[in-house]
Amino acid sequence: MTTKDSKNYDVIVVGGGAAGIGVAIALRHAGIENFKVLERKTVGASFAAWPDETRFITPSFPTNSIGMLDLNSIAIGVSPAFSLEVEHPTGEEYASHLRGVAGFFEIPVRENTNVNHIVKTDDGFEVDTGDETLQAKHVIWAAGEFQYPRFNAIKGSEFCRHTATVDSYESLEGDDFIIIGGYESGVDAAYHLAYHDKRVRLFDSGCPWKDESSDPSIALSTYSLERMREEWFGQFVELFPDTRIESVTREDDNYVVTTVDGKRFETPTQPLLAGGFEGSHKLVADLFEQRDDGFPLLNENDESTIAPGMFLAGPSVRHDGHVFCFIYKYRQRFAVVAKAIATSLDLPAEELENYRKWGMYLDDLSCCGEECATC
């Protein structure tokens, strides 16, 4: 039997997306050098896997003199708007931005590395990659959501295709589409299909396009609302608000979508499911207590309450009713995590004071006070 190699780190970050690279930069600024970022594919892979047409709903703009950060930046002094010269980047564009940022800050990333299991030990954690077991005093789970779509949202979900698995809406065959889920992903799919003169029926259990909140965690973003006002969107897309779907079945050559109140809608084209994401945090559920909503319970430093040294970074972070589901929200927590780890390593973390000045390290939680809509 072959003995696996062991390596020791102060910190292992799991995930090479916006959260993983962003919190790794904060570790650098905290003076932490002995760390590694493990990414099962390549840096920014989740963004690169977006449908070709999908763009960021939060606009990017260059960092300016009044101290505002680009909403989609992950570190002080970088801006995807500046480097990409676009306001609403595509997923592939943003992935290239992350790769550039990781290179600029010399983030030690090990790509094409699976994390099979994490075990709490007396001295920290054992991280099993299949090829070797790595030792770490601290682990930051930052594996994101997009690669973990929710497939079981309704009965008969197996007859649907999740929007996260679509390479390009232009390449989808058929002229008559049903989309289940009317938040950002559903509206984005409807918009691009309608652009190509496809008939679309869009169902949502609520009515996010009419929600009075200005927070995109709850209501549709301004970018999506603007696109819905296109004349051809209204021509090809029929909206069904407050319509909860009971099931999807296959009957002969058609797919049948049945609502809770018994209405039936048929289409020859496989329905699209825009039902959100399970999230990667469920892969490490044994290392966290759970909140009532199923998300990990965290202390004030985004650390597990039952496995000290295990931290969470990214869109799954929750505190009370605060939801950190966008980059400009969860990046506020990077320096919180980095400072907690630096303190445990007896490092001064002086550079993190810059995060406070730029509004990325806050004493008071600053986010929406509601739960996110399904996106």
Domains annotated on the chain, with CATH: 6-147+277-357 (3.50.50.60), 157-273 (3.50.50.60)
State residue 68's pLDDT score.
Answer: 78
Quick check: 254 pLDDT over 80? yes
Sign of CA dihedral 14, 20, 21, 22: negative
State residue 361's pLDDT score.
Answer: 60
Q: What is the DSSP string of 270-311?
A: PPEE---B--GGGGGGGGS-B-TTSSBPB-TTSBBSSSTTEE
Average pLDDT over residues 269-295: 94
Eight-state DSSP code of residue 57: S
Tell me which residue of 9, 17, 7 sits closest to 47, measured CA to CA.
Answer: 17
Confidence of residue 201 (pLDDT cuts 50, 70, 90): very high
Quick check: 1 pLDDT over 70? no
Q: pLDDT by residue (tens digit) across 106-121? A: 999 999 999 999 999 9
d(CA 325, CA 148): 15
State residue 154's pLDDT score.
Answer: 92
Q: pLDDT by residue (tens digit) across 169-178? A: 999 999 999 9
Counting Cβ atoms within 10 Å, is residue 280 exposed (0-12), middle (13-18) or buried (19+)? buried
Quick check: 308 pLDDT over 70? yes
Confidence of residue 356 (pLDDT cuts 50, 70, 90): confident
Average pLDDT over residues 292-296: 94
Q: pLDDT by residue (tens digit) across 27-56? A: 999 999 999 999 999 999 999 999 999 999
State residue 215's pLDDT score.
Answer: 67
Pick the residue with more confidence: 327 or 366? Answer: 327
What residues have CB less than 8 Å from 203, skipping those under 6 apart? 178, 179, 180, 181, 182, 240, 243, 245, 257, 259
What residues have CB less than 8 Å from 261, skipping those under 6 apart? none
- Residue 86 is encoded by which pair of tokens? 């676009």
What residues have CB less than 8 Å from 170, skipping those under 6 apart? 52, 53, 192, 196
Confidence of residue 360 (pLDDT cuts 50, 70, 90): confident
Quick check: 241 pLDDT over 60? yes
Average pLDDT over residues 8-21: 98
State residue 366's pLDDT score.
Answer: 46
**Beta pairing class for 35-38 and 322-323:** unpaired
State residue 50's pLDDT score.
Answer: 97
Confidence of residue 216 (pLDDT cuts 50, 70, 90): low
State residue 219's pLDDT score.
Answer: 80
State residue 374's pLDDT score.
Answer: 33
- Residue 233 is encoded by which pair of tokens? 């969107």
Eight-state DSSP code of residue 38: E
Quick check: 362 pLDDT over 90? no
State residue 355's pLDDT score.
Answer: 82
Tell me which residue of 271, 281, 257, 113 sits closest to 177, measured CA to CA.
Answer: 271
181: left (phi over 0), alpha (psi -120 to 50) or beta: left
Question: For residue 312, which phi and psi values (nearest 5 degrees)?
Answer: -120, 135
Quick check: 103 pLDDT over 80? yes
Average pLDDT over residues 185-201: 97
Pick the residue with more confidence: 367 or 152? Answer: 152
